[in-house]
A and B are shown apart, each in its own frame.
Chain A
Amino acid sequence: MEPLTNKKKVLAQKPLTFAERSYLPAIVKGMAITISHFFKKEATIRYPEVEREFSTNFRGMHSLKRDEEGRERCTACGLCALSCPAEAITMIAAERKPEEKALYREEKYASVYEINMLRCIFCGLCEEACPKEAIYLDGPIVPSDYLRKDFIYGKDKLVEAPLEVK
């Protein structure tokens, strides 16, 4: 059949020239590209030793805050758990004893506070819901682990370290 257009390109197979046959120019050209990359700026960083700077509105791991006197701010009101779309937060409340007044700010506190980091989607709604300014997603990226149970973060991992006594 006659071709309808003249776009068809006929490839003629020519024998390789001496330079092509020796492969050397092509190898040198390829190596030059490879070696030039050695002197370029690295695109990656050595995480976790080095961390990139996060944007100011980055949401990472949660932390439960303390007030200026070092008492825990959380009062276990349950609004974070209510607002959580992934249902990652659970808590058990307890009543503060008179001798624990230096530990907890309110009459009631969270004796158990757990966040399942596998469920958490880091949306920040808990932060928004909190009436006591007790929870912030201001931590780093949640580290990886092997077992599922290790992703359920309790108060030991979430509560901010107590203030340094000067």
Chain B
Amino acid sequence: MSDKVKVTIDGITVEVAPGTSILNAARQIGGDIVPPAMCYYSKLEGSGGKCRTCIVKVSKGSEKDPRPMPKLVASCRTAVMDGMEVMNITSPEVIEARSGVVEMLLINHPLDCPVCDQAGECDLQNLGYEHGLQKTRYEFERRTFERIDIGDKIQLHMNRCILCYRCVFTADQITNKRVHGILNRGDHSEISTYIQTAVDNDFSGNVIDVCPVGALTDKTFRFKNRVWFTKPIDAHRDCPTCSGKVTLWYKGEDVLRVTGRKDIYGEVAEFICNTCRFDKKKTADWVIEHPTHISDTSVIASNHYETLKPLPVIQPNLKLQEANRIELEKTTKF
């Protein structure tokens, strides 16, 4: 018996190790057929199964038992079986159910995007754009909370939280001691620290990166600029506590924000420490590598060049400049 199992997702067959989830099998294929995920985070053990955006239809259970699964299943939590056939974007049922899930996620989510610092790199915004309706059918008051400071560097907007639990898993696994969690139950659940205890850990800033929405944001970047006006550049430094591999977000000459390097699924490759994230905001602190690759479909790609010094639009012509010196001075004189 081979140690690989065959699984077909939207007609594309792939061989994966047994025990792999459908979502990860789809990610091995890549492209459009990968189900979106709001709560699953490959770097966090135990994450997933909360948001239901990754639901897929299993039209054939396995080679031995070819019956389809009775309901749509969460692909991040369902392991593949040999000969399994999965439908994601080819099934209208899945698309419809997913837009229902998006509607549910948006029920309590405020229309804060013009104010929110996450806008432009927000998973929920992308998902809402693809699947959501333009209006809400919900007629009641949304849940509202006062915003909370978790320490002096992290801002928690509980209004925007979709309860994906990613930050809780991060605190559990990356940091030694968790000081924040989910209080209350069901509709009343909220992320909080008891009596707003400051999260005191070298890696606490990573909850900002794992948050798929704008619930946890960087206070040092708060309202500084819009994400799509800043230019991401990969850089590294010798850091004693973490790998030091980060993305710097430049506006002109200034580093406005430091984040971990995110892959195409919005997951950071390596968690970075708070010193790198919050305190090293000078170009001199970093070794610049190259501009971060940004997908063409992202709003951040506007005016983003993937070469460090883009070619000038007009070739400078010294002869011409000298001949028109007086006129040129007029234009800059005010």
Name the A residues within 8 Å of B224 (CB-CB).
93
Taking the complex as formed, is B91 at the interface, i.e. its CB lies under 8 A from any CB of chain A?
Answer: no
Taking the complex as formed, is B250 at the interface, i.e. its CB lies under 8 A from any CB of chain A?
Answer: no
Residue pair A78, B334 in contact (C-beta under 8 Å): no
The stretch that binds A, out of B112-120, B125-133, B165-173, B190-198, is B112-120
Q: Closest approach, in angstroms, between the C-beta of B114 and any C-beta of chain A?
A: 3
CB within 8 A of B115: which of A81, A82, A107, A148?
A107
CB within 8 A of B228: which of A78, A95, A108, A147?
A78
**Band of interface residues on B:** 10 to 19
Name the B residues within 8 Å of A103 (CB-CB).
none
Taking the complex as formed, is A40 at the interface, i.e. its CB lies under 8 A from any CB of chain B?
Answer: no
Taking the complex as formed, is B226 at the interface, i.e. its CB lies under 8 A from any CB of chain A?
Answer: yes
Given A77-B114, A79-B114, A108-B223: A148 and B331 interface contact (C-beta under 8 Å): yes
Residue pair A77, B226 in contact (C-beta under 8 Å): yes
Identify the closest chain B residue to A130 (Cβ): B114
Q: Do most interface residues of chain B lie in helix, strand or loop, or is the interface mixed? A: loop
CB within 8 A of B113: which of A76, A77, A81, A147?
A77
Taking the complex as formed, is A157 at the interface, i.e. its CB lies under 8 A from any CB of chain B?
Answer: no
Q: Closest approach, in angstroms, between the C-beta of A61 and any C-beta of chain B?
A: 21
Identify the closest chain B residue to A132 (Cβ): B114
Identify the closest chain A residue to B229 (Cβ): A78
Taking the complex as formed, is A123 at the interface, i.e. its CB lies under 8 A from any CB of chain B?
Answer: no
Name the B residues within 8 Å of A14 (CB-CB).
none
Q: Closest approach, in angstroms, between the C-beta of A44 and any C-beta of chain B?
A: 31
Taking the complex as formed, is A25 at the interface, i.e. its CB lies under 8 A from any CB of chain B?
Answer: no
Name the A residues within 8 Å of B115 (CB-CB).
75, 77, 106-108
Complex: how many Å from CA A117 to CA B135? 36
Name the A residues within 8 Å of B228 (CB-CB).
78, 82
Complex: how many Å from CA A113 to CA B222? 18
**Band of interface residues on A:** 10 to 19
Taking the complex as formed, is B299 at the interface, i.e. its CB lies under 8 A from any CB of chain A?
Answer: yes
Name the A residues within 8 Å of B114 (CB-CB).
75, 77, 79, 106, 108, 131-132
Residue pair A93, B334 in contact (C-beta under 8 Å): no
Taking the complex as formed, is B42 at the interface, i.e. its CB lies under 8 A from any CB of chain A?
Answer: no
Taking the complex as formed, is A46 at the interface, i.e. its CB lies under 8 A from any CB of chain B?
Answer: no
CB neighbors of A among B101-116 (8 A): 113-115
The residue among A82, A106, A147, A149 with the most chain B CB atoms within 10 A of its own CB is A82
Taking the complex as formed, is A94 at the interface, i.e. its CB lies under 8 A from any CB of chain B?
Answer: yes
Taking the complex as formed, is B243 at the interface, i.e. its CB lies under 8 A from any CB of chain A?
Answer: no
Taking the complex as formed, is B302 at the interface, i.e. its CB lies under 8 A from any CB of chain A?
Answer: yes
CB neighbors of A among B209-249 (8 A): 222-226, 228-229
CB neighbors of B among A105-130 (8 A): 106-108
* Proximity string of chain A (97-109) to chain B, C-beta cutoff 8 Å, 1 when within and 0 when not: 0000000001110
In the A-B complex, list the 7 residue pairs whose CB atoms are closest, starting with the nearest.
A77-B114, A78-B226, A149-B334, A93-B223, A108-B115, A75-B114, A108-B223
In the assembled complex, 5 residue pairs joining A and B whose CB atoms fall closer than 8 Å, in A order, are A75-B114, A77-B119, A93-B223, A94-B223, A147-B334
Using a CB–CB cutoff of 8 Å, the interface residues on chain A facing chain B are 75-79, 81-82, 93-95, 106-108, 131-132, 147-149
